[in-house]
Amino acid sequence: MFAYVVKRLISGVLVVTLVSMAIFLLFWYGPSSPAQPICDRETSNRCTQTKLAVYEKTLGYDNPVYEEYGKYVKGIFVGRTLTIASNDYECGAPCLGVSYRTKQPVKEELVSRMPATFSVAIGGAFLYLLFGVPIGVAAARRRGTVADKALVSSFLFISSIPYYLFALLTWLYLTITFPIPFFSDTGYFSIAQNGPLKWFGGLFLAWVALGIFGCTQYTRFTRGAMVEALSEDYIRTAKAKGLPTRTIVYKHGLRAALVPVVTIFGIDFGTLLAGTIFTERIFDIQGIGYWSLQAVQGRDLPVVQATALFSAVVLIIANLLVDVVYSVLDPRVRLS
């Protein structure tokens, strides 16, 4: 197990390196100069070629790409001093750059937005499993009945709606048309500053939107996996031995059925941690997803680069954890 984890960590580092190189090259060889956004912002869209050349020189865009990438990687480990026009900005390790919009180190802004995104992700993922898995098991046990068909049909209808529309309708109806006291003031409120009740109330509707929409696919996945597991020979043998139905379903069937569900959950949870853009934007949650959307709209390249790199790291870690959990859920899985 230890050797496998080490090998996966090494491969993960290689993947992150390739991702950072790809992002760096995309910005470097893009259709416009990487210094164009900040030149436009600093000169109120009156960026001349002379001014652009000044920004390119101070930002290092007139140097070879491999030299600047080396400085970027070095800054991640030891930090660096960045110069924009005539101003110097200290960027401590790990240095992910300085925001063109706020002139603040990207690392500090990223860390400040993590609690909001983590709160949304953990609450939404919890509701995925809390509702999706039990309903899927119940539907599988009643396969072919009216209740099973009604559940599958209703969840298929919900999942056919685009998520951004579903989240927007949730916000409109539950905050404006039929406002729910205490929950209609959406957003992220720090527990330390506002208390747990305010924190819970601000995130509740976002969790509801994520949970209801996300549990539909987990219901389908769990139902399909349970139907397949309950038709296996070892399940029939357990029934022939007279084991209680609850033991057969939850100890033997569900444990095997959870393996594919864990695969999907690991990727989904990693995606949530990387930033729930629509959820954060609609419910006014200042997290990583909303931040990255603002960076794309404002052409804040260091922020876009940092959020893309953060997303890659989170997804790699999520995949590693999923592979490790496999061996716990299913003894037939062996890590080599």
- What is the rounded average pLDDT of the residues 55-60? 83
Whether 178 is in a domain gets the answer yes
Clarify whether residues 81 and 175 are in a common domain.
no
Domain assignment present for residue 21? The answer is no
Predicted pLDDT at 329: 65
The pTM score is 0.84
Task: Count the domains in the chain.
Answer: 2
Q: Are residues 91 and 219 in the same domain?
A: no
For residue range 181-224, list pLDDT tens digits in order. 888 889 999 998 889 999 999 999 999 999 989 888 899 888 98
Q: Residue 118 has what pLDDT? A: 92
pLDDT above 80 for 164: yes
Q: Judging by beta carbons within 10 Å of its beta carbon (0-12, 13-18, 19+), is residue 240 exposed, middle or buried?
A: exposed
Range of the domain at 54: 34-95
Q: Is residue 54 part of a domain?
A: yes
Q: Of 95, 122, 142, at which residue does a domain stop?
A: 95
Instruction: Flag whether 295 is in a domain.
Output: yes
Q: Is residue 13 part of a domain?
A: no
Q: Is residue 296 part of a domain?
A: yes
Give the rounded percent of residues in the chain with a pLDDT score beyond 90.
18
- Asked whether residue 221 falls in the same domain as residue 187, the answer is yes
State the pLDDT at residue 200. 93
Note the pLDDT of residue 334.
57
What's the average model confidence in pLDDT over 164-181?
89
Domain of residue 310, CATH code: 1.10.3720.10
User: Are 156 and 275 within one domain?
Assistant: yes
Give the CA radius of gyration of the chain: 24
Q: pLDDT tens digit string along 107-155? A: 999 999 999 999 999 999 999 889 889 998 888 888 888 888 888 888 8
Q: Give pLDDT, residue 333.
A: 59
221 and 278 share one domain: yes
In-domain check, residue 271: yes
pLDDT tens by residue, 276-325: 888 999 999 999 999 998 888 888 888 988 998 888 888 888 888 887 77
Do 210 and 318 lie in one domain? The reply is yes
Residues 70 and 126 in one domain: no
Same domain membership, residue 323 and residue 219: yes
Mean pLDDT of 217-238: 87
More confidently predicted of 105 and 28: 105
Q: Does 280 lie in the same domain as 199?
A: yes
* One domain for residues 162 and 226: yes
Are 186 and 318 in a shared domain?
yes
Residue 187 lies in a domain: yes
Shared domain for 85 and 175, answered yes or no, is: no
